[in-house]
Structure 1
């Protein structure tokens, strides 16, 4: 494993637009803007799309699990689920079999809508990935994971 040399804190008098946090936020804002534009044409928001993606991979997730995985509060997650349910894209029981969790699943229409928009969303990610040399991608992914882990401690 490569030893990391501490570089210290960023100089608060230096150009803030060169700080790691600023650059991460800039990349995230650019990604969100591109996704918003594509998804809007399909009648979806980013949290709704993320929810559909997760439910396709993990049918039966609860509202709490979905909210955590899509980076929204449980209350916002519930609003997302209600919107998807009203659009006929998901189904969840009116009451829980046990506890409070109501497992959520995609409907046929939900699977269709997800498939319809996935290629456009994946193309956005591909544009980002193509902006850096392919041999640097594994290190970037690992570094991003380390940055998140450092703040989750």
Structure 2
């Protein structure tokens, strides 16, 4: 006869609200809400902003690469790129030179919009960073990276 016993939690926790996954999701939801509010004032969404940041660092990224880097599907990534292109913030060739990739680049207007919004976005990150003692920041960043790597396997 099988006993009806619950599995042991991965670490001591009073309830689910103290589990690592729950607390990560809570932090992510708070960050997303703060980012949405800040970016709305500048007429951008989080994926649009992330795309502008990435294209500033890596001009010519493809839709597939941008979608992966901004955590959206390729279809959603294409919608983001079309919106940015329609808004005059990026350019992409009408057709691909080879394959299906159409590399994207910031326009002058895109660079200006990114510069205008960066201070507001960085202020959100500063609020997060101030909640962590400076001596623990490097460890937190390493731990978050380790968590992601463990789940990507």
Instruction: Tell whether the structures are fold-level matches, with TM greater than 0.5.
Output: yes
Distance in 2 of aligned mates of 1:19 and 1:99: 45
Q: TM-score scaled by structure 2? A: 0.92
User: Using the alignment, how far apart are the partners of 1:120 and 1:70 within structure 2?
Assistant: 19
Q: Which residue of 1 aligns with 2:10?
A: 9
| Structure 2: distance between partners of 1:118 and 1:14 | 39
The offset of 1:129, in angstroms, is 0.5
**Deviation for aligned residue 1:14:** 4.1
Describe the superposition over 1:17-58 as per-residue Cα deviations: whole angstroms up to 9, x where unpaired.
100000001111111100100100110000000000000000
Between Structure 1 and Structure 2, whose CA radius of gyration is higher? 2
Q: Following TM superposition, where does structure 1 have runs of at least 4 consecutive aligned residues deviating by more than 6 angstroms?
A: none
Query: Counterparts of 1:102 and 1:92 in 2: how far apart (Å)?
Result: 6
- The 5-angstrom pairing of residues 1-40 of structure 1 reads 9-10=10-11, 14-40=14-40
Structure 1: gaps spanning 5 or more residues: 1-6
Q: SS state of the match for residue 76, structure 1?
A: helix
The runs of 5 or more residues in structure 2 that have no matched partner are 1-7
TM, length-normalised to structure 1: 0.92
The RMSD of aligned alpha carbons is 1.5
In the TM superposition, residue 9 of structure 1 has moved relative to its aligned partner by: 1.6
The total of aligned residue pairs comes to 146
Question: What is residue 111 of structure 1 aligned with on the other side?
Answer: 111
Deviation at 1:8, TM superposition (A): 6.0
Q: 2:15 & 2:39 partners in 1: Cα distance? A: 34
Q: Distance in 1 between matches of 2:133 and 2:14?
A: 28
